[in-house]
Chains A and B, each alone.
Chain A
Amino acid sequence: MSIWEYANPKKFMQTSGALLPWAVGLSVLMLTVGLVWGFFFTPDDYKQGSTVKIIYIHVPAALMAINAWGMMLVTSLIWLIRRHHVSVLAAKAAAPIGMTMTLVALFTGAIWGQPMWGAWWAWDPRLTSFLILFLFYLGYLALWSAIENPDAAADLTSVLCIVGSVFAFLSRYAVLFWNQGLHQGASLSMDRAEHVADVFAYPLWVSIAGFVLLFVTLVLIGTRTEIRARRMQALLAREKLD
């Protein structure tokens, strides 16, 4: 068995159809447990008070915003190298999800930043690179809509995805090499001194798992939709020829 079997749309539809109910159930379960645990059963932070509860939505959303682009980069490269349609359709399906996660991270960051920093927004390296990432998501989706030929659209959006990856990874690592910004360091770090306390970290991990599973679920549904849309385009084109 090879992973490339799933590049066959029929095989992908079969496998994803079987996986979807599990993905839906697990994502609902993990999101509920993570968010209820974090919101209702964790203490306030000694410095940040109850605003620390925003961590359970802000950090998972920000992680997904970056990782969704990472997944789009991998699937776009597979398209450019091996020309598997399913991979680029998965990238297309992931884009609105990644864009929404970026928006969630930006909004919750601004709401959290106002009482903590005294400002809704600052041109801090991490915040700025996140805003640019959001603009890349918008551009990526606009490019898909603007080009009629699906293969040409797939090629151009894949190239845009590679270019945008610079900002996706910059938003991930900006806090490590620019320390003059307002944004704190990584919340989940291997360094114990920097890492958030366990009482906050455990529900945060569950919430992150929930966001990852939500992403997987929505990408599976979205990719199935894109495969169907592509098949419909092919049938309509054949109808016109007849």
Chain B
Amino acid sequence: MPDLGKYALTVLSAYGVTLALVLALVAYVLIRAGRVKRALAEVEERATRHG
């Protein structure tokens, strides 16, 4: 860990906020992708069954 001196809290909080926001964004994109993929598979299967 580098010595951040008197600005340690400033630097670490900037990185912390960024990490939290980017991880939340990635989670949102991936969760929505999985949910839509599963729902489409269900609808396609139903459509195939009913011709």
* A contact residues vs B (CB 8 Å cutoff): 39-40, 44, 49-51, 53-54, 57-58, 61, 96-97, 100, 103-104, 107-108, 111-112, 114-115, 214, 218, 221-222, 224-225, 228-229, 231-232, 235-236, 238-239, 242
Per-position 1/0 for B9-20, Cβ under 8 A of A: 011011101100
Q: Which residue of B lies closest to A111 (CB)?
A: B14
Q: Tell me if A218 and B50 are in contact (CB < 8 A).
A: no
Residues of chain A within 8 A (CB-CB) of B7 are 49-51, 115
Q: Which residue of A lies closest to B37 (CB)?
A: A228
Q: Tell me if B29 and A228 are in contact (CB < 8 A).
A: no
| 8 Å CB interface, B1-51 against A | 2-8, 10-11, 13-15, 17-18, 21-22, 24-26, 28-30, 32-33, 36-37, 39-40, 43-44, 46-47, 50
5 chain-A/chain-B pairs, Cβ below 8 angstroms: A51-B11, A58-B14, A97-B25, A111-B17, A228-B40
Residues of chain B within 8 A (CB-CB) of A221 are 29-30, 33
Q: Is the interface of B mostly helix, strand, loop or mixed?
A: helix
Residues of chain B within 8 A (CB-CB) of A97 are 25, 29
Residues of chain A within 8 A (CB-CB) of B37 are 225, 228
Kindly state the separation between the CA atoms of A232 and B44 in the bound complex, as whole angstroms: 8
Q: Tell me if B32 and A49 are in contact (CB < 8 A).
A: no
Q: Tell me if A40 and B2 are in contact (CB < 8 A).
A: yes
Closest chain-A Cβ to B31's Cβ sits at a distance in Å of 10
Whether A100 contacts B21 in the complex (CB less than 8 A), given A53-B11, A218-B26, comes out as: yes
Q: Tell me if B29 and A229 are in contact (CB < 8 A).
A: no
Closest chain-A Cβ to B12's Cβ sits at a distance in Å of 10
Whether A231 contacts B2 in the complex (CB less than 8 A), given A96-B28, A104-B17, A239-B47, comes out as: no
Q: Which residue of A lies closest to B38 (CB)?
A: A228
Kindly state the separation between the CA atoms of A232 and B26 in the bound complex, as whole angstroms: 23
Closest chain-A Cβ to B21's Cβ sits at a distance in Å of 5
Contact of A218 among B6, B29, B39 (CB under 8 A): B29
Kindly state the separation between the CA atoms of A228 and B37 in the bound complex, as whole angstroms: 7
> Chain A CB within 10 Å — which of B13, B28, B29, B50 has the most?
B29
Closest chain-A Cβ to B17's Cβ sits at a distance in Å of 5
Kindly state the separation between the CA atoms of A222 and B36 in the bound complex, as whole angstroms: 11
Q: Which residue of B lies closest to A222 (CB)?
A: B29
